[in-house]
Amino acid sequence: MSYRVAVASTDGKYVNDHFGGAKPFLIFEISSTGYQYLELRPNVPSCNPEHADESRHSKTLELLADCRAVIVARIGPGAEQILASRGIQAVTIPDFIDEALKKLSQMNLFH
């Protein structure tokens, strides 16, 4: 069984972005044999300094609809609940992407 995971990263090496501030999401596929990079998906951040923009949240949710999880450095409880309502698990793992993906696969969240 394999599943897709979105990663919030500004540099492509480290999970270092907040869910609402993520401009790109890196998409990976995790399987029993490991993981592989699939693509970079540009995103319009859903948060701004004044408030979260619900229409932008919707666009981000559409962008990540085929993912089972999103790995972030930080996420607010509201965004986490919205993701969960769509069947997307939010996981906070501020680490190198390689390590974060290994940790996620060891959590057995989807088996």
The answer to whether residue 111 is domain-embedded is no
CA dist 93 and 100 (Å) reads 6
pTM for this prediction = 0.90
Angle, CA of 32, 103 and 28, to the nearest 5°: 60
The answer to whether residue 7 is domain-embedded is yes
Q: What are the two backbone dihedrals, phi and then psi, of residue 59, each rounded to the nearest 5 degrees?
A: -65, -40
pLDDT of res. 73: 97
Q: How many domains does the chain have?
A: 1
Would you state the structure tokens that stand for residue 39, as one six-digit string?
């693509």
pLDDT of res. 6: 98
pLDDT of res. 57: 74
Q: Specify which residues 27 forms β-bridges with.
A: 6, 39
Question: Can you give the residue range of the structural domain that contains 87?
Answer: 3-106
The answer to whether residue 78 is domain-embedded is yes
Q: What does the H/E/C string look like for 21-70?
A: HCCEEEEEEEECCEEEEEEEEECCCCECCCCECHHHHHHHHHHCCCEEEE
The answer to whether residue 61 is domain-embedded is yes
CATH classification at residue 72: 3.30.420.130
pLDDT of res. 55: 61
63-103 pLDDT, tens per residue?
Answer: 999 999 999 999 989 889 999 999 999 999 999 999 999 99
The answer to whether residue 48 is domain-embedded is yes
3-62 pLDDT, tens per residue?
Answer: 999 999 999 999 999 998 999 999 999 988 889 999 999 998 877 655 555 566 788 999
